[in-house]
Structure 1
Amino acid sequence: MQQQPIYQSARPSFMSRLDGAPVTKWLLILNIAVYFLGMANANLGEWLALKGHFSVATFFQHGQLWRILSFQFLHASPSHLLFNMFAIYMFGAFVEHWWQSKKFLFFYLIAGCGGALLYSLLFQLGQFGDTPFMYRGTIYEAAYIPLVGASAGIYGILLGVAVIAPDQRIMLIFPPIPMKMRTFALGILAISLFIVLTDGRNSGGEAGHLGGAILGFIMMKNPHWLAFIDRTGGGPRRPAGGTKSRWRRPGIRDAKVVREKKIKPRTIIDLHHDDELDGILDKISEQGFQSLTAEERKKLDQASQKK
């Protein structure tokens, strides 16, 4: 089974990696723009940080619900921004092509929300302690400790790549060694989990990483969760008319289908107009491949072998 490579043998131009991935491109633009606008204007930067960061107190106690999204576009330092944008640039388009753009946007933001929620849960359970902190001469409760960064959504993306192409080999920057995407994903999750369990440095941020990864993994295994987006016009359209159609249904790209011997991701199926097959394809799009009965799988398998 061949998988779409993350790295091509021929070196692509810088922007060509983002071809057909408008959401990935705009995530890069927005994150970079927000950071440098804040750097260029100190007052604006302080306002963005105060109004945009996530904390347990501001979200749950004060009901400032926008923060569960806005914190994903703020960064604490140039290196924080650089590493996150590099990860989005390298892996975002790959997952966006799998989901399609509208679904990918929801996937990314929901994974980011998952990071904030797991951080909040572990904070309430006392995992990070309750030491107050000082900001500009004022002492704040630990519940006001700010959480910022795109990392939770990015960890969702990394788990997405690991599910789609677990055996894809990537090259680490430091140390410069190749490894499978599955191994890389398990490695970074193990590091985050260790830091959280030992309450190490930036344990709250690592909890956010774990939350994004967990929710990203769950969504990859249950793509029907985002099926409602198809019904708003974001999904594939069936060609009108004719007795024979050539239709590629992204809903077939269920994570479990990657392991099927006969029906693979991005398989193009020639279908004679058949209401029963249409119903099966609709069911896959809305509920995932795993929802099919044995009889439905057999019929779809037979249809996929017709040339």
Structure 2
Amino acid sequence: MGRITETIKHLLIINVLFFVAAQMFGAQIYELFSLYFPKNEHFQLWQIITHMFMHGGFMHILFNMYALWAFGTPLEQMWGRNKFLFFYISAGLGAALIHIGVNYYYYNTGMNALIESGLTESSILEIINNGQYYTEWYSIAGKTTIDNFLGAFNTPVVGASGAVYGILVAFGMSFPNSELFLIFLPVPIKAKFFIPVLIALDLFSGVTGYSLFGQGIAHFAHVGGALFGFLMMWYWKKNQFKNNRWN
């Protein structure tokens, strides 16, 4: 991996500064810069970018920044600053797009079920914008539907994980036979095997709701970042400029 590259160094600094600010000012910073559902009153357009620099805790930022350094360094060395930064931000935006799209599905499913019971959208929005809900809703649409509906509307997403998953895919496609040593496994695993399995586990967790990585994880954002990373790599390879540098 060699020395830390300039773009990654700057990304690490920005992420750390956001993290320190969040620890100092707490809820105000999270409310401003986390990515809320577009119909939530706390949503702001800039959150589509700023959420990538926010993290929920020390271990969250530690793992993301380690992965950014470990897997991003050889990519920036190969691509150059501008191409790496374009890829990183694009993967993060793709992750946000997929996350919001899935949340719209959850939101519309729950909202339509409640409207069919005789409620109006405006009255429902007034209730959930105040952080409230009625237990009777569970008898209307079922617990899973209502929980997904409320979670999609109320829960903001933070973290560089979506962009990092794009970086993981790019690393796996560029250096497929690199051997990765993991803390919880005593044997090395080639990138071309480990990274697809990791993404598949995230997809499984997102679809089933049974999280293998803990609670509060935006699995579809991970999958979205990986998907957009794959599509960019596929397009670049098809057009024969995957390895061209953008300085």
Q: Shorter-chain TM-score: what band?
A: 0.7 to 0.9
Residues 1:50 and 2:31 are matched in the alignment: yes
Structure 1 segments unaligned to the other structure (5+ residues):
1-5, 7-15, 226-250, 255-264, 267-284, 286-307
Higher relative contact order structure (alpha carbons within 8 Å, sequence separation ≥ 6): 2
Q: Which residue of the other structure, out of 132, 135, 155, is the alignment partner of 1:139?
A: 132
The alpha-carbon deviation at position 127 of structure 1 amounts to 8.9
Q: Partner of 2:222 in structure 1?
A: 209
| TM-score (normalizing by structure 1) | 0.61
Q: Which residue of the other structure, out of 164, 169, 173, is the alignment partner of 2:179?
A: 169
The alpha-carbon deviation at position 71 of structure 1 amounts to 0.2
How far, CA to CA, are the matches of 1:209 and 1:128 in structure 2? 22
Q: Which residue of the other structure, out of 133, 150, 167, is the alignment partner of 1:157?
A: 167
8 Å CA contact 1:53–1:67 kept in 2: the answer is: yes
Q: 1:16-165 residue pairs with structure 2 within 5 A?
A: 16-18=2-4, 21-39=5-23, 41=24, 44-57=25-38, 64-126=44-106, 138-139=131-132, 141-142=150-151, 143-165=153-175
How far, CA to CA, are the matches of 1:129 and 1:177 in structure 2? 44
The structure with more helix, counted as a fraction of residues: 2
CA RMSD in angstroms, aligned pairs only: 3.2
Letter in 1 for 2:29: L
How far, CA to CA, are the matches of 1:49 and 1:87 in structure 2? 23
Letter in 2 for 1:100: G
- CA distance 1:253–1:176, shift in 2 (3 Å): farther
8 Å CA contact 1:34–1:74 kept in 2: the answer is: yes
How far, CA to CA, are the matches of 1:216 and 1:53 in structure 2? 22
8 Å CA contact 2:35–2:43 kept in 1: the answer is: no
Q: 1:179-218 residue pairs with structure 2 within 5 A?
A: 179-201=189-211, 202=215, 205-218=218-231
- CA distance 1:92–1:129, shift in 2 (3 Å): farther
How far, CA to CA, are the matches of 1:203 and 1:38 in structure 2? 18
Deviations 1:191-244 (A, max 9, x none): 10110110234476110000000001111122389xxxxxxxxxxxxxxxxxxx
How far, CA to CA, are the matches of 2:75 and 2:39 in structure 1? 32
The alpha-carbon deviation at position 180 of structure 1 amounts to 0.7
Structure 2 segments unaligned to the other structure (5+ residues):
112-123, 134-149
| TM-score (normalizing by structure 2) | 0.75
Q: Which of the two has higher C-alpha Rg? A: 1
The structure with more strand, counted as a fraction of residues: 1
